[in-house]
Amino acid sequence: MATLFHWAAMSGLILLGMEPVGATFSGSVVGAVTNYGLQRALAFPNARPHIQAVWRYVFSCSLASLLNVLIFFILHQLLEIPVAPAQLLTTVAVAAFNYVVYQRLVFHEQTS
């Protein structure tokens, strides 16, 4: 769902004339905001308390946004891969990174 919001925001911004690298950064922020609640409710229901998780989430999203921009920049600007395939490859890489970080750092489910 967060990826859908990311891609929708990015597409809309590109259609409005924004450069793709800036649009993917903006889209990643939109996706991150929608993602927190979804991850907490659906993927990590036994997560650490919200007050502990939210700061870790903001930190991990900052890293993920930088990674998103870096990978997309390399693929689109340097390797001249078109926007959609470049963002698809970027999304896969960042999603894998995010899952590991969310699981180990952000939500770290409590065990009894």
pLDDT tens digits, 63-94: 999 999 999 999 999 999 999 999 999 999 99
Going from N- to C-terminal start, the domains of the chain cover 2-106
Q: Is-contact 55 45, C-beta < 8 A? A: no
Give the tokens for residue 93.
């890489």
Under the banding of pLDDT at 50, 70 and 90, the label for residue 110 is low
Of 10-19, 86-95, 96-105, which gets the smallest average pLDDT? 96-105
Mapped onto helix, strand or coil, the DSSP state of residue 55 is: helix
Task: Indicate the DSSP class of residue 17.
Answer: T
CA 86 to chain centre: 15
Under the banding of pLDDT at 50, 70 and 90, the label for residue 109 is low
Closest C-alpha among 25, 41, 22, 30 to residue 6: 30
Closest C-alpha among 21, 19, 6 to residue 92: 6
What is the model's pTM?
Answer: 0.77
